[in-house]
Structure 1
Amino acid sequence: MNPRTDWTEANLGDLTGKVAIVTGANSGLGLETSRALLKAGAHVVMTMRSEAKASSTAAALTAELDGASLETMILDLADLESVRRFSEMFHGKHSRLDLLINNAGIMMTDAQLTIDGFESQLGTNHLGHFALTGHLLDLIRATPGARVVSLSSVAHRWGFMEFGDLMFLNGSYTPRAAYGRSKLANLLFAYELQRLFDAAEVDAISVAAHPGTAGTGLADHLFNRWYLRPLKPLVFLGIQTPKQGARPSLRAATDPLAKGGDFFGPGGRKEYRGAPVLVESNAASHSEVDARKLWVESERLTGVNYESLRTSTK
């Protein structure tokens, strides 16, 4: 692996002819990831939850980037029917998928359920992307060298899997614990997907990334209470811009030396900021037992299975 610690968007190379999906692309990391891929020549399908956001984002980027090849599509990862509809529409327009960047997410929200009855952070951050990747698996397999990038967080270190109460329905919910669980689930998924790719000899890789700390707006709601508002400038002092925070995802998606199962994050102190480098996730994220349990439960909950990967290994 290239050990360089000065990686930037200039290292993306020419992505002309590549088709990419970036989820949660209307702002923050998703917008900056999309912008960089567009500048490198990729055709980028930017997903967002509302027509209004889609229209305004597309108009702004089209005006900014002359000749950019982009389209916007509606996708709500907290709604499995929306995931299914998106996949159906994407299949109707495209016959290949080079990059699937599972970027969208929510962070440390109050206890609530998705439309399908899942705890919202696990439902959006993990189960929605699990279903999306499964629906698009045929195109990933049909595209030589395809990549699936799963966005995790340093918060995966807070996470723990409790399969008897995956949704925190027994009253133990805290925003922090649920967020950590969802980010741990992202890594368990990424590593297990690579094991399945390897077993089925699929010409694709599954990689992961985390942004460190970046001012994306994802945590703004945590300062809604009046007595916390004065703390916001102090908390966000010195953190990375969204453009900087997107670099680990971009390196994971495009570095020609990246291998399946690699994990990229900022190379600075505590992985909070810095140029993207290979980093290590915690021991819990490498538990093949938990990964398999989560996979089985995710298939059951979403109704989306990866049977084609398993049958091709026989």
Structure 2
Amino acid sequence: MSTFTLDNVPPQNGKIAIVTGANSGLGYETALALAKKGATVILASRNLSKAQDAMHQILLEMPNAALEIILLDLNSLQSIENFAKEFSSKYDRLDLLIENAGIMMPPLSKTKDGFESQLGVNYLAHFHLTNLLFPIIKETAEARIVTLSSLAHQSGKIDFDNLNAEKSYSKWKFYAQSKLACLMFAYELQRRIDSAGIDAISLSAHPGFSDTNLGTFLPSIGRALFSPLTSIIGQGSKQGALPTLRAALDPEAKGGEYYGPSGFRELKGDPVKVKSSSRSHDLGVAAKLWSDSEELTGKTFEL
């Protein structure tokens, strides 16, 4: 499928998908597209009211859409565990795990478990969620895990001596670190899936410069410029969701691939396979990040 369009994607009837952060922006567009293709979509959100609004909007377009809300607060390992327990009690398969939710450049804050918030929400929460759901994933033929990264990963570095801002904090540095961690996790997960001979694939995607709610924590002047800049050099959230959707739905996609926009500096354009930074392919750092993540979340990841 050299040119990806949703119209060319086979129906997804009978498949079960989870989309984190499905109530707005990229997550909403991803959930809407999956529902249109016939998948049952779990809207994973910490805000019930916003999730209900999103469900209502999807049902206006797709009255027969199969949707369910399960609350998920990525600031809390306990909430993630509750989510996984509830999902596992209702479903015996998971075809698509779309790890979309994230935050960008907040003031220094910590999750309920003491993690720096960007590393905690963007990366560690999704690492833990994947771990808890993996027993179902590996029993589902041709399951896919899609982890959202960002162009910001290119300037990221995993600082093991200051992983949770124990010594210092920079909003951008820690955002970039979290998104590099997401990408390295996607690659490392695929390597481990291959070693274990599991019928699943792990992929990653980034939306380019897209109009989302990630600008919430930007200074007021940054927020004022964010949408106008997006309209000039970037793209809307519907287009920004396409790299994620290609990773999730393209029949020709292979494990370990990374998708992003095709245009100048990957800011916007059609979804294509893209390259990532040399740091994202560091096997030693990836292995240490994995083991440290197991220690921080308190659970060994058994494939």
Tell me the TM-score normalized by structure 1. Answer: 0.93
- AA aligned to 2:225 is L
Q: Secondary structure at the match of 1:105?
A: coil
Matched, 1:281 2:253: no
Q: Which residue of 2 aligns with 1:148?
A: 145
Post-superposition shift, 1:50?
A: 1.5
In structure 1, runs of 5+ residues without a counterpart are 310-314
Given the alignment of the two structures, is residue 130 of structure 1 paired with residue 124 of structure 2, yes or no? no
Q: Which letter does structure 1 place at the counterpart of 2:202?
A: S
Identity percentage of aligned residues:
48
TM-superposed deviation, 1:110? 1.1
The question of whether the paired residues in 2 share the 8 Å contact of 1:153 and 1:211 is answered with yes
On the 8 A contact 2:145/2:201 being kept in 1, the answer is yes
Partner of 2:13 in structure 1? Answer: 16
Give the equivalent residue in structure 1 for 2:166. Answer: 169
Whether the 8 Å contact between 2:216 and 2:223 is mirrored in structure 1 is no
CA distance in 2, matches of 1:202, 1:232: 42
- After superposition, the C-alpha distances for 1:107-137 in whole angstroms (9 at most, x for unaligned) are 1111110110000000000000000000000
Q: TM-score, normalised by structure 2?
A: 0.97
- Per-residue deviation at 1:62? 1.8
Q: Given the superposition, is the C-alpha separation of residues 256 and 73 from structure 1 closer, same or farther in structure 2, using an over 3 Å criterion?
A: same
State the secondary structure of the residue aligned to 2:42: strand
> Secondary structure of 1:150's match?
strand
Equivalent pairs counted in the alignment come to 302
In structure 2, the partner of 1:240 is 235
Structure 2: stretches of 5+ with no match in the other structure: none
Distance 2:127 2:20 in 1: 13
Alpha carbons 2:102, 2:118 under 8 Å: kept? yes
1:63 to 53, 60, 64: 60
Work out the CA distance in 2 between the residues paired with 1:15 and 1:236: 31
CA RMSD of superposed structures (Å): 1.3
Residue in 2 aligned with 1:216?
212
Please state how far the C-alpha of 1:54 moved relative to its aligned partner. Answer: 2.2
What secondary structure sits across from 1:305 in the alignment? Answer: coil
Q: In the TM superposition, what whole-angstrom CA distance separates every residue of 1:219-252 from its partner, at most 9, and x where no partner exists?
A: 143143xx55653454333221100000000000
Local SS of the residue matching 1:178: helix
Instruction: Assess if the C-alpha contact under 8 Å between 1:141 and 1:202 holds in 2.
Output: yes
Q: Contact 1:19–1:42 (CA<8 Å) still a contact in 2? A: yes
Matched, 1:302 2:297: yes
1:18 deviates by 0.6
Deviations 1:38-60 (A, max 9, x none): 00000000111122112222222
**Does the Cα contact within 8 Å between 1:12 and 1:251 map onto a contact in 2?**
no
Q: Does 1:74 align with 2:71?
A: yes
Runs of 4+ more than 3 Å apart: 227-234
